Amino acid sequence: MHSTTASPTPTHCPYCALQCGMGLAQDPGRDGGLAVVEREFPVNRGALCGKGRTATEVLSSRVRLTEPLIRTHATGRLEPATWEAALDRIAEGLSRTRAEHGPDAVGVFGGGGLTNEKAYGLGKFARVVLGTSQIDYNGRFCMSSAAAAHQRAFGLDRGLPFPLEDIPRTGCVILVGSNLAETMPPALRYLTELRENGGTLIVVDPRRTRTAAQADLHLAPRPGTDLALALGLLHLVVAQGRTDEAYIRERTSGWEEARAGAMAHWPELVERITGVSVPELREAVRLFCAPDDAMVLTARGPEQQAKGTDTVGAWINLVLATGRAGRPHSGYGCLTGQGNGQGGREHGQKADQLPGYRKLSDPAARAHVAEVWGVAPESLPGPGRSAYELLDALGGDVKSLLLMGSNPVVSAPRAAHIERRLRSLDFLAVADVVLSETAELADVVLPVTQWAEETGTTTNLEGRVLLRRQAITPPAGVRTDLFVLHELAARLGVEKGFPTDPEEVFEELRRASAGGPADYSGITYRRLAEEEGVFWPCPAEPGHGDGEDAALDAAPDDPSAELPGAEAESASASASASTGVHPGTPRLFLDRFATEDGRARFVPVTHRAAAEEPDAEFPVLLTTGRVVAQYQSGAQTRRVAELNAAAPGPFVELHPQLAARIGVADGEDVTVVSRRGTAVAPAKVTRSIRPDTVFMPFHWAGEGRANTLTHPALDPVSRMPEFKVCAVRLERTGPPGLAKSA
Ligand SMILES: Nc1nc2c(c(=O)[nH]1)N[C@H]1C(S)=C(S)[C@@H](COP(=O)(O)OP(=O)(O)OC[C@H]3O[C@@H](n4cnc5c(=O)[nH]c(N)nc54)[C@H](O)[C@@H]3O)O[C@H]1N2
Ligand SMILES: Nc1nc2c(c(=O)[nH]1)N[C@H]1C(S)=C(S)[C@@H](COP(=O)(O)OP(=O)(O)OC[C@H]3O[C@@H](n4cnc5c(=O)[nH]c(N)nc54)[C@H](O)[C@@H]3O)O[C@H]1N2
Ligand code: SF4
Ligand SMILES: [Mo]
């Protein structure tokens, strides 16, 4: 049927930020035409989770979109249409809004699962073709607080400033609000090896998850109190004289204010706020301070809070005070989530950003990128709204939306409200591989290609840029996202600058990123095909490369062209110096941080309450997250039989004490009410959760949709919504099976 090569195509998983290496072998007998085979790759060493193993199921034409759909006036329903008609209709919808209400009335929403080429193209399309400032993406819901904290402390945001392989070589890891045994199963091996090597693991999670079960010490704070917890640990570090004064003097600034913040959080106070006892706090400090090297890794638990940026800042302060950042086998890192969560936050689909992690408000950045794009710097709009604020403005001053790579009907906070906003649009166009709950609301749906059907690059959670290769010919009616941008640009009067060949887009991205913080200019498809990924920054060294590289404008007289603090390891640097190729930068900050003075910045932070604390009416805390067998809004994984069998629907995890209080038995439906709405799902009674907290996974639409309940309070810096804390009331619904979920 689709025959390309006999040997498996080496490529990467479509889902999470680990971007596990896998092989794809032709298998015409199978639904999607491909079989997943094991491939040796340093990140996962052949291992895959169930989602990766079954990823080819979503290629099947039984579950995916294979023709464009247009909502017809006659029936009000989505009906099959030609590509010409669908693209014409989108161009017409977007231009009508622009003509009637101005460019900022047209919105664009992207996703951290899009390849670098798509994210770059989408950002350029918004600024150059639509001229709108109103673009943002779902990465705001993901790691934006850690990104903001990274920028504040280190002057640069790369989720992990070191490769995963450093984890087993450190002495102690504090893993804060990550359930990686379920969210990145092959990465659990790094923690197992850490412990085999004599290192210790501390897990901070209100639930005793599969990950927490591996820990030497599990701290189970009340949701939303990680900031106080980190301050309490720092307090003890100071009180016990365990700070690294020489390091603080030589490599940091701002210690005095940060120290004062910590000293105000004495252990007994922290115990009252967090529910973590003073002896547990002392034990955590003992384990963390005993070895020379240690790490703190955060994920969505502490980050998805209306104080996520300060919370991550507090953990970074702990790392800095103990002298642990910018040293081998030590430091702070964020476990980024989506397949291209890292690259997707670097190349311009974010409201305030230009490619190469440049700032849209920086005149030099605007001039550089405008030149690459062949437009006047003044023509580029300014920064727009953040994701939730953009979705909340739909039907208000934003009248039309083009959406690629997200399913906010399921995944946005206060989702019933956002669903109403989407319905109130004059015009909605969605490009997706399946008919997601959000695509169901669209005026036009475009069926696009996915991972194995197209080539593109992603940047994994380590900052490793990877080539995800095409392994199969897509179905006849399907086109790429790059084709969509190309065709829409042409229809909106921009004939050039939106190539459909991903390598051509990447070549332009290299030039646009050159000299920026996330410099990809030394990375080529050829290199990516030969190496096991290249860590950014990777500048094209002028004068050393081939003609093409030398033409890249990483001007030698531009001080920003050489990123401070980004030192390539000297061994590999000298090895490749002779070839004139920059080796990439697996480890950041070893000599200096990327701040102006090269010092890491302590940030003074103090604890504050969640946006919504429990009260008499809503006495219980709700937190939300993931299960191993479903991915995100479930748009893809709910279409895979094996995964659905493993995780068939939503549930409410609650402690036996709480279950007894409301009179609900395991498996019975329970009603969860917040100030935003009501959800119903079966109770899962377990001692692994705090008695004052319930947990719901957010992968489902319908009655069991967790995001009907969540609070859209935003972090003031990152604009991250508070997915991890809100107040709810529980009610017994009745016998099992009454609640229905999509
Ligand atoms: N199976 C699966 N894997 C995935 C995904 C998926 O949807 N499914 N999504 C991918 C993406 S995009 C992401 S962002 C990552 C997310 O990966 P994780 O961050 O590991 O996932 P979550 O389940 O959202 O949250 C992790 C833990 O935070 C805990 N938590 C809740 N509230 C708090 C709190 O206030 N403080 C602390 N310290 N912890 C708290 C939860 O109990 C949960 O166990 O996973 C990626 N991998
Ligand atoms: N309550 C609660 N809500 C949360 C979270 C939480 O922890 N709790 N976590 C948040 C986080 S961290 C995240 S990352 C978001 C994720 O939530 P979403 O943004 O909804 O992410 P996905 O479900 O991955 O949606 C991606 C959509 O794009 C489609 N798609 C996949 N590949 C492509 C492609 O190449 N092109 C196009 N055009 N479409 C494609 C998929 O089929 C799917 O419909 O959810 C957030 N929402
Ligand atoms: S851990 Fe992530 S990248 Fe690896 S197979 Fe699973 S979903 Fe894919
Ligand atoms: Mo995420």
Which is the closest atom of ligand 2 to the Cα of 411? Answer: 47
- Phi then psi for 165, rounded to 5 degrees? -60, -15
- The residue nearest atom 36 of ligand 1, judged by CA position, is 301
**Would you give the distance in Å from CA 280 to the centre of its chain?**
31
Taking the domain 144-334, which CATH number applies?
Answer: 3.40.228.10
CB-based contacts of 183: which residues, under 8 Å, 6+ apart? 16, 299, 337, 626, 628
Ligand with smallest separation from the Cα of 698: 2
Can you give the pLDDT at residue 33?
Answer: 87
* Residue 339 CB–ligand 1 contact under 6 Å: no
In whole angstroms, what is the distance from residue 216 CA to residue 45 CA? 25
Nearest CA to 626 out of 724, 488, 539, 536 is that of: 724
3-state secondary structure at position 116: helix
Question: Pocket of ligand 1, candidates 16, 145, 410, 715: which has the most ligand atoms within 8 Å of its Cβ, to mutate?
Answer: 16
In whole angstroms, what is the distance from residue 258 CA to residue 307 CA? 16
Give me ligand 1 centre to Cα 647, in Å. 16
* Residue 723 CB–ligand 2 contact under 6 Å: yes
- The residue nearest atom 21 of ligand 2, judged by CA position, is 406
Contact between 156 and 594 (Cβ < 8 Å) = yes
CB-based contacts of 182: which residues, under 8 Å, 6+ apart? 209, 210, 211, 626, 627, 628
Give the torsion sign (CA, 626, 631, 633, 639). Answer: negative
Contact between 693 and 623 (Cβ < 8 Å) = yes
Which is the closest atom of ligand 3 to the Cα of 183? Answer: 1
In whole angstroms, what is the distance from residue 125 CA to residue 143 CA? 24
Binding-site residues, ligand 3, Cβ < 6 A = 13, 15-16, 18-20, 44, 48-49, 51-52, 184-186
Give me ligand 3 centre to Cα 184, in Å. 6
Report how far apart, in Å, the C-alpha atoms of 257 and of each of 239, 253, 317 are. Answer: 16, 10, 11
* Residue 140 CB–ligand 1 contact under 6 Å: no
- The residue nearest atom 26 of ligand 1, judged by CA position, is 178
Ligand with smallest separation from the Cα of 621: 1
Give the torsion sign (CA, 496, 403, 341, 719). Answer: positive
In whole angstroms, what is the distance from residue 56 CA to residue 642 CA? 12
* Residue 671 CB–ligand 2 contact under 6 Å: no
Which is the closest atom of ligand 2 to the Cα of 431? Answer: 38
In whole angstroms, what is the distance from residue 17 CA to residue 338 CA? 5
Contact between 713 and 611 (Cβ < 8 Å) = yes
In whole angstroms, what is the distance from residue 688 CA to residue 429 CA? 43
Contact between 387 and 137 (Cβ < 8 Å) = yes
Give me ligand 1 centre to Cα 302, in Å. 10
Cβ–Cβ contacts within 10 Å for residue 161, how many?
29
Q: Where are the beta strands (DSSP E) in 345-482?
A: 353-354, 358-359, 400-404, 427-432, 444-447, 456-459, 464-468
> What residues does CATH 2.20.25.90 cover in the chain?
9-59
Per-residue H/E/C for 122-151: HHHHHHHHHCCCCEEEHHHHCCHHHHHHHH
In whole angstroms, what is the distance from residue 612 CA to residue 725 CA? 8
Ligand with smallest separation from the Cα of 183: 1
Give me ligand 2 centre to Cα 705, in Å. 14
The two most distant CA atoms of the chain are separated, in Å, by 75
Ligand with smallest separation from the Cα of 64: 2
Nearest CA to 350 out of 505, 207, 137 is that of: 137
In whole angstroms, what is the distance from residue 234 CA to residue 600 CA? 17
In whole angstroms, what is the distance from residue 113 CA to residue 14 CA? 8
Fold of 69-142+340-454+476-513: Rossmann fold (3.40.50)
Continuous segment of H or E residues that includes residue 255: helix 255-263
Report residue 236 as tokens.
């003890």
How are beta strands 172-176 and 200-204 bridged, if at all? parallel
Give me ligand 1 centre to Cα 204, in Å. 12
CB-based contacts of 293: which residues, under 8 Å, 6+ apart? 169, 170, 171, 172, 324, 327, 328, 329, 330
Contact between 732 and 671 (Cβ < 8 Å) = yes
Question: Pocket of ligand 3, candidates 44, 190, 628: which has the most ligand atoms within 8 Å of its Cβ, to mutate?
Answer: 44
Can you give the pLDDT at residue 409?
Answer: 98
Which is the closest atom of ligand 1 to the Cα of 182? Answer: 1
* Residue 460 CB–ligand 2 contact under 6 Å: no
Fold of 9-59: N-terminal domain of TfIIb (2.20.25)
* Residue 625 CB–ligand 2 contact under 6 Å: yes
> What residues does CATH 3.40.50.740 cover in the chain?
69-142+340-454+476-513
* Residue 724 CB–ligand 1 contact under 6 Å: yes
**Would you give the distance in Å from CA 423 to the centre of its chain?**
26
Can you give the pLDDT at residue 576?
Answer: 52
DSSP states along 306-321: TTHHHHHHHHHHHHHH
Fold of 620-732: Barwin-like endoglucanases (2.40.40)
> What residues does CATH 2.40.40.20 cover in the chain?
620-732
In whole angstroms, what is the distance from residue 742 CA to residue 736 CA? 16
In whole angstroms, what is the distance from residue 617 CA to residue 611 CA? 16
DSSP states along 543-576: TTS-HHHHHS---TT-GGGS-TT-PPPHHHHHHH
In whole angstroms, what is the distance from residue 476 CA to residue 61 CA? 11
**Which ranges of the chain have pLDDT less than 70?**
1-6, 542-579, 734-742
* Residue 302 CB–ligand 1 contact under 6 Å: yes
In whole angstroms, what is the distance from residue 672 CA to residue 623 CA? 12
Question: Pocket of ligand 1, candidates 183, 334, 608, 696: which has the most ligand atoms within 8 Å of its Cβ, to mutate?
Answer: 183
Instruction: Give the model confidence (pLDDT) of 363-379 as tens digits.
Output: 999 999 999 999 999 99
Report how far apart, in Å, the C-alpha atoms of 644 and of each of 255, 639, 649 are. Answer: 50, 7, 8
DSSP letter at 703? T
In whole angstroms, what is the distance from residue 706 CA to residue 708 CA? 5
* Residue 176 CB–ligand 1 contact under 6 Å: yes
* Residue 209 CB–ligand 1 contact under 6 Å: yes
Give me ligand 3 centre to Cα 17, in Å. 8
- The residue nearest atom 4 of ligand 3, judged by CA position, is 20
Contact between 163 and 141 (Cβ < 8 Å) = no
Continuous segment of H or E residues that includes residue 693: strand 693-697
Instruction: Give the model confidence (pLDDT) of 201-238 as tens digits.
Output: 999 999 999 999 999 999 999 999 999 999 999 999 99
